[in-house]
Every structure is written in structure tokens, then in C-alpha cells.
């Protein structure tokens, strides 16, 4: 049960190793390639953790599982904007590792509970350029991660193909635009993704889960 009142909102970008229709979003039993690897990053437009203001900071979580997430035995690592002070770093690490969150209320809580290895958070500068409407992204975390994304294009015509996923009862977003992402990492969790599933959404979360009206 969440004890500290917290809330964050801002654009979120995520890229994993599955095909464009990520099986997790449809409760399919297995990931596209059997395993699940990826990351999610958010730039906090507005946020707080108790009396700690989180506005303007970037944060990301890298993750990997040998099978589907629900089978567990995964690993995760938080990456936090190095501009954050000590209290902000502690607050963001708590949120990204599912602390002060009701059971099952956020994707971060699930990722943490399904991970047997939780790496210590690292602190780096963030370059975060995400346009949800255009389905484009460029995220650079020096010595950790570089990711770009673009709209899906038809293999037949090369025309842009627009797809949205709506999850009225989801634990991460209400609506996400879907694109094509490419990501490489040099951190503890290896990612080498090439034009795989990417999602763009505007995240609104509290310790009770997705905030659908505010």
C-alpha cells in the first residue's frame, strides 16, 4: 500500500524486442522471440514525491526477462537524471522500482516484482526528444543508451502506417501511438534492438496507478 503521496506526468517512450504488435499489450502468452528485453523512459513535466518536486527530470528503466514477464526471473536497472539532487534521486529510484505503489498498480511495480536481479540505479544526463503525435524519438543517455524511433512504414508502399493501442484498464497508459524503434545500450542490461516495437504515450501515474482524470 502506497504511504507517500506521489504523482508524475509527462511523455513516455518505450522500445522492446518484440514485433510491432507487442504481445504483452494483448495478454498473449509468449513474447515474439521468447524473451523480453527493452526500456521505458519518461521526461517529467510535472511531478512530486511527498514534498519533493520532480519537475523537469528524466528517468528510465532498462529490463530483461528470459521468457514472458509474468514468469519472472528478470533483471532491471533505473537510470536517473544526474541533475536530480539526493532527495530527488531517492524519490525517482523508489518510484521506478515500484516502491510506495499499490500492488500491481503500475508497470514499474510489476517489473520490479518480476525481477530477481535489481541493479543499483545509475545517474547520467538525459537527451530526451519525443514527439508523440509524429511518432518520433531520440533519447541519449551517455555511456548507457541511445535510441531513435520513427513511424511504421508499409513494406509495400513505404507510406507511414499509424496504429494506436487503447487500454482502458491498463497499468501504463490509456492510449499509445505505435512506432518503430532502434536502441543500443552499453549498460548492465544489453539491448540491441533494430526497428522493433516502440510506443509513445503521455504518462500520468500515482501510487494508486494510472490517473485517468485530473
For residue 65, being part of any structural domain is answered with yes
For residue 213, being part of any structural domain is answered with no
d(CA 71, CA 89): 30
What is the pLDDT averaged over residues 21-38?
A: 94
For residue 194, being part of any structural domain is answered with yes
Is residue 17 over pLDDT 90? yes
Task: Count structural domains, the chain.
Answer: 1
Burial tier of 67 (Cβ tally within 10 Å: 0-12, 13-18, 19+): middle
What confidence score (pLDDT) does residue 187 get?
77
Closest alpha carbon to 18 in 84, 74, 64: 64
Burial tier of 155 (Cβ tally within 10 Å: 0-12, 13-18, 19+): exposed
pLDDT digits (tens, 9 = 90+) for 148-189: 999 999 999 999 999 999 999 999 999 999 999 999 999 789
- Please give the sequence-ordered ranges of beta strands (E in DSSP) within 17-166, or none if there are none: 36-43, 46-49, 52-53, 58-65, 74-81, 115-124, 127-131, 136-141, 145-150, 152-153, 160-161, 163-166
The dihedrals phi and psi of 58, each to the nearest 5 degrees, come to -95, 155
Residues 49 and 181 sit within 8 Å (Cβ to Cβ): no
pLDDT digits (tens, 9 = 90+) for 45-80: 999 999 999 999 999 999 999 999 999 999 999 999
Domain range for 106 is: 6-208
Contacts of 200 (CB under 8 A, 6+ apart): 11, 12, 13, 130, 131, 132, 135, 137, 149, 176, 177, 178, 179
Residues 14 and 59 sit within 8 Å (Cβ to Cβ): no
**20-39 b/e (C-beta count within 10 Å ≥ 16 → b):** bebbbbeeeeebbeeebbbb
What confidence score (pLDDT) does residue 1 get?
60
What confidence score (pLDDT) does residue 188 get?
83
Report DSSP state, residue 144. Answer: T
Q: CA-based angle 86:115:55, to the nearest 5?
A: 30
d(CA 33, CA 20): 12
For residue 140, being part of any structural domain is answered with yes
Is the torsion defined by CA of 66, 67, 71, 77 positive or negative? Answer: positive
What is the pLDDT averaged over residues 100-114?
A: 97
For residue 99, being part of any structural domain is answered with yes
pLDDT > 70 fraction of the chain, expressed in percent and rounded: 98
Q: CA-based angle 89:90:91, to the nearest 5?
A: 90
Is 0.85 topped by the overall pTM? yes
What confidence score (pLDDT) does residue 213 get?
67
Amino acid at each position: 500500500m502506497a504511504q507517500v503521496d506521489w504523482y508524475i506526468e509527462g511523455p513516455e517512450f518505450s522500445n522492446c524486442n518484440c514485433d510491432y504488435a507487442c504481445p504483452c499489450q494483448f495478454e498473449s502468452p509468449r513474447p515474439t522471440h521468447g524473451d523480453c528485453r527493452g526500456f521505458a523512459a519518461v521526461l517529467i513535466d510535472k511531478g512530486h514525491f511527498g514534498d519533493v518536486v520532480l519537475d523537469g527530470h528524466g528517468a528510465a528503466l532498462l529490463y530483461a526477462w528470459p521468457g514472458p514477464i509474468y514468469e519472472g526471473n528478470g533483471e532491471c536497472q533505473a537510470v536517473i537524471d544526474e541533475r536530480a539532487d539526493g532527495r530527488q534521486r531517492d524519490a525517482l529510484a523508489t518510484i521506478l522500482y515500484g516502491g510506495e505503489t499499490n500492488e500491481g498498480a503500475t508497470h514499474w511495480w510489476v517489473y520490479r516484482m518480476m525481477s530477481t536481479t535489481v541493479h543499483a540505479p545509475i545517474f547520467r544526463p538525459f537527451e530526451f526528444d519525443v514527439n508523440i503525435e509524429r511518432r518520433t524519438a531520440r533519447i541519449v543517455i551517455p555511456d548507457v543508451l541511445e535510441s531513435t524511433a520513427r513511424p511504421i512504414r508499409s513494406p509495400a508502399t513505404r507510406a507511414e502506417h499509424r496504429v494506436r493501442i487503447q487500454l482502458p484498464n491498463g497499468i501504463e497508459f490509456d492510449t499509445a501511438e505505435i512506432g518503430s524503434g532502434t536502441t543500443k545500450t552499453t549498460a548492465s542490461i544489453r539491448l540491441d534492438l533494430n526497428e522493433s516495437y516502440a510506443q509513445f504515450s503521455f504518462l500520468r501515474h500515482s501510487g494508486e496507478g494510472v490517473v485517468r482524470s485530473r
